[in-house]
Amino acid sequence: IAIIVIDVATFVVPPLLPAVLTSINASAQRRLKNKDIYCLNSSYINFCGALSVVCFDKTGTLTEDSLDIVAIVPCENAMLQPAVNNLKVLPYGPMLVALATCHSLHLVDGEVVGYEMDMKTLQTIDWKLEEPKLGEPVPFDKIPARIVMPRNVRLSSTSLGIVRQFPFESQLQRATVVVMAANSNIFHIYSKGAPEVIQQMCLPETVPESFEETLESYTRHGLRILAIASKALPNDTTWDQALHLLPRAELEYDLHFRGFIILQNKLKPESVSTITTLEDAGI
């Protein structure tokens, strides 16, 4: 019986069929290349003929790799304030301090390196980052690892020392820093991360009632949202405690909600025409 099946299969599937399919795929591949469509594996051309839906990974494919801050929505006394679209006019306060300090930027050969969004933010608010050397005079009891300040001033009362950093972790969905202002003895905690994560870390009475509604209204427009929270550590907190003795869990609780950062992942210039072409093809 097996011999009969093989014999029948030989007649049903001509020996030249694979070669014919290969030549057809090669011809299709050349025609696609003439239209600036490059196919690395011609065997997938046949599969594409049956496609009715194409799914894209958005970031870096349909959109640019970077994120841009389009607005800041501060929160005062558990009430969301009007959005600030121009970061250059953002008044000095928790949101501005968070933008200037809550990151993992550092200097390499005098150049600021780190996440592109954080570098662009520091540039937009017109602040600068410095890493003081041992023995260099600073307006702090001890020399912090990094200092940020407005770009148009030298070390002054507006300087902020970044004493301790907890860089962003995807599992925790947040980043946190311990900060001290110049000529002060009070340490402050600033956390930045996913809104639902930051909300759980905040005192309920500091979270606005319109939290969910505002968050949904922005996300429905394809915008990405980060939340900011902060608090002051007790007055008797020492440098050693702030620098390494206090555990992260003890720092990141009973925070005060400070507002939202609204981010936009802009479309690449060619994305609209590409999607239009696919729609015109019935895909």
Q: What is the DSSP string of 185-210?
A: --EEEEEEE-HHHHHHHB-GGGS-TT
Residue 260 backbone class (left: φ over 0; alpha: ψ -120 to 50; beta: rest):
beta
Backbone φ and ψ of 104, nearest 5°: -120, 30
Q: Say what the pLDDT of residue 260 is.
A: 96
Three-class DSSP category at 262 = strand
Looking at the whole model, is its pTM more than 0.85? no
pLDDT at 213: 94
- Residue 61 DSSP SS3: coil
| Rounded CA separation 25/117 (Å) | 44
pLDDT mean by block of 10 residues, the chain; 283 residues: 67 67 83 85 78 73 81 94 90 93 89 87 89 79 86 75 90 92 91 95 95 93 92 92 90 95 86 85 79
Short-list 57, 87, 89, 113, CA closest to 263: 87
Q: What is the pLDDT of residue 29?
A: 87
CA pair distance 156, 167, nearest whole angstrom? 26
CA dist 238 → 33, 77, 133, 160, 164 (Å): 66, 29, 22, 17, 13
CB 70 within 8 A of CB 60: no
Nearest 5°: phi and psi at 175? -130, 150
The 3-state DSSP class for residue 250 equals helix
d(CA 44, CA 61): 20
260, 204, 202: which is closest to 228 by C-alpha?
Answer: 260
Among 57, 109, 236, 280, the active-site one is: 57
Is 57 an annotated catalytic residue?
Answer: yes
- Name the residue with tokens 């609209």: 272
Residue 24 and residue 32 in contact, taking contact as beta carbons nearer than 8 Å? no
pLDDT, position 20:
72
Contact 225, 195 (CB under 8 A): yes
| 242 SS3 class | helix
